[in-house]
Structure 1
Amino acid sequence: MRAAIFQTTTGIDPACNADALAAAVANARAGGADMLFTPEMSGLIDRDRKRASASIRDEESDPALAAVRHAAAKAGIWVHVGSLALAGGEGGRFVNRGFVIDDTGAIRARYDKIHLFDVDLPTGESWRESAAYAPGARAVAVETPWGRIGLSICYDMRFPDLYRALSDAGATILAVPAAFTVPTGRAHWHILLRARAIEAGAFVIAAAQTGRHEDGRETYGHSLAIDPWGDVLLDMGGVPEIGFVDLDMARIADVRGRVPALAHRRPIGPAEVAA
């Protein structure tokens, strides 16, 4: 499988972002990719929620989703749209939803981000994702011609139970699109993603936002492709561009045979607390 990763600096204009995504689909295909992976919030990044709310649409009328579906069908390539901000969440909130689109432009899977980022950082940054977004409730894995892909988004990477559920469902590729902050990225990005790959004996593809955005935030970049042994196959640094990586799917059976941790898993109940 030849994968393309779109590392970008998404802005506040949905039309411009939709055009950039469509161009990335065409460029990925021109580079010989079978599937393109894009970051979290590929259609819009805007921390001004009042301004952003005027641009957020439902799934049927979102310009980025429509552009990607059309471009995927035209190019004959699969696309994982890391996520889009969409209307229609519980309690009048939005949803942070990822999509897998096949080479005819059909939607094969949807995943709503389960774990929401509510935190105050030592830098003074404060994030309350749950104030605007409703959480998802189920893990999602989807069949592709190259294996089953387990879907997740950004902060999900800190919760290994999700990836256990995905690998138990047969996922051999874990998609982890993100818009990671710089302080947490420097500290944890590579470590957590390599751990997820090693635990699951699976490839990890993590398409990331990078650089200074129009709304003032800064994201970490370093989109990664990691093999089931935990080796980094591609690290895109901080440059907005498309990267390519070839995945040898036979590597999964090789690694799982050498360290059969998945076969040794046992159900574990609540821990007992000794007096």
Structure 2
Amino acid sequence: MTRIAAAAAHFGRDLDFDLARIAKLIDDARKEGAGLLVLPDAALGGYLADLRHPDPDALPPALKPDDPLIAEVGRLAAEMVVCVGYCEDDGGARYNAAVCVSGDGVLGRHRKVHLPAGETVVYTPGDRFDAFDTPAGRVGMLIDYDKTFPESARSLALDGAEILACLSAWPTSVTNRAPRMAQDRQAKLFDLYDQARAAENQVVLASSNQTGAMGGMRFLGQAKVVGPGGDILARTWAKAGLAVAEVDVGAEIERARRVLRHLDERRPASYREARA
């Protein structure tokens, strides 16, 4: 059995504050007995303050892939597996990135492939989806908008991922904000994508998200753990906190695939190939 925790929390530009909050969340998850903790996108340095017109003078701090802050998150993680998002600086290009660490070092990395309109002027897109082995199981990471595209999660499932770690800084609708968060279009889509990506691939999914506000952005929270049948096992709703669920990952996946095995029953020859 593995206890999986997904965090809903606010992070901003103050890296010392962010690291202290990460340390607190790791400590809270450890007290819950979690073996895997998924922190939000941009937990180190915060997300963009405006998706339509990002201010080039107010961007998140960019960290090198080997920045000491990432090593410090690994030290704090110790025996746990922790996924955390940050802005990555690699050769002058900026990426919306995530890294998975433990006390043994870096276990896996991901650069966000699918960039919404505002991010395209700030970040360079990644170009691949790779699963990797961890003490908590084989994991694949997605960063917010990535999960809108079924191919993203499917690529990771085909690479053997048992757990999808979805790190988000997912806001309410920026064009048609609802009077109540429960009525917001993006709030509904956030939950829909989480459940669909788990169910269609018959895997466990841990979805984190930011809370609070950054500039004109208001974030949803709604962290959750979803089973391979698409059922929500634990959630935070809009509040900050941890969604924690105990899951026998291998057994639950096998149960979901006992009769219908989606990955095996695909008919790739019938699908339209992607065109450049």
Specify the alignment match of 1:70 in structure 2.
75
TM-score for both structures, normalised by structure 2: 0.86
Aligned-residue offset at 1:241:
1.6
Q: Given the superposition, is the C-alpha separation of residues 270 and 202 from structure 1 closer, same or farther in structure 2, using an over 3 Å criterion?
A: closer
Contact 1:154/1:177 (<8 A) preserved: yes
Match of 2:129 among 107, 119, 139: 139
Aligned length: 254
Q: Distance in 2 between matches of 1:5 and 1:178?
A: 11
- Residue 11 of structure 2: SS of its match in structure 1? coil
Match of 2:63 among 49, 57, 81: 57
Q: What percentage of aligned pairs have identical amino acids?
A: 28
Q: Distance in 2 between matches of 1:24 and 1:49?
A: 30
Give runs of aligned pairs for residues 174-213 of structure 1, distance below 5 A.
174-183=164-173, 184-213=185-214
Q: Distance in 2 between matches of 1:244 and 1:72?
A: 17
Give runs of aligned pairs for residues 1-275 of structure 1, distance below 5 A.
1-45=2-46, 46-47=48-49, 48-52=55-59, 55-61=61-67, 63=69, 65-73=70-78, 76-81=79-84, 83-88=85-90, 92-102=92-102, 104-118=103-117, 128-183=118-173, 184-213=185-214, 215-249=215-249, 250-268=251-269, 271=272
Question: Which runs of 5 or more residues in structure 1 are unaligned?
Answer: 119-127
Contact 1:194/1:230 (<8 A) preserved: yes
Q: Distance in 2 between matches of 1:174 and 1:193?
A: 10
Write the letter of the residue equivalent to 2:57.
Answer: K
Contact 2:35/2:136 (<8 A) preserved: no
Aligned-residue offset at 1:181:
1.7
Deviations 1:24-76 (A, max 9, x none): 112211221111110111112242431336x323223353x233122112xx2
Contact 2:88/2:94 (<8 A) preserved: yes
The farther-off stretch of 40-49 and 225-234 is: 40-49
Write the letter of the residue equivalent to 2:82.
Answer: V
Contact 2:223/2:242 (<8 A) preserved: no
TM-score for both structures, normalised by structure 1: 0.86
Specify the alignment match of 2:176 in structure 1.
none
- Residue 33 of structure 2: SS of its match in structure 1? coil
Contact 2:19/2:44 (<8 A) preserved: yes
Contact 1:4/1:28 (<8 A) preserved: yes
Q: Distance in 1 between matches of 2:64 and 2:39?
A: 19
Write the letter of the residue equivalent to 2:238.
Answer: G
Give the alignment's Cα RMSD to 1 decimal.
Answer: 1.9
Contact 1:22/1:67 (<8 A) preserved: no
Q: Distance in 2 between matches of 1:37 and 1:186?
A: 19
Aligned-residue offset at 1:210:
1.4
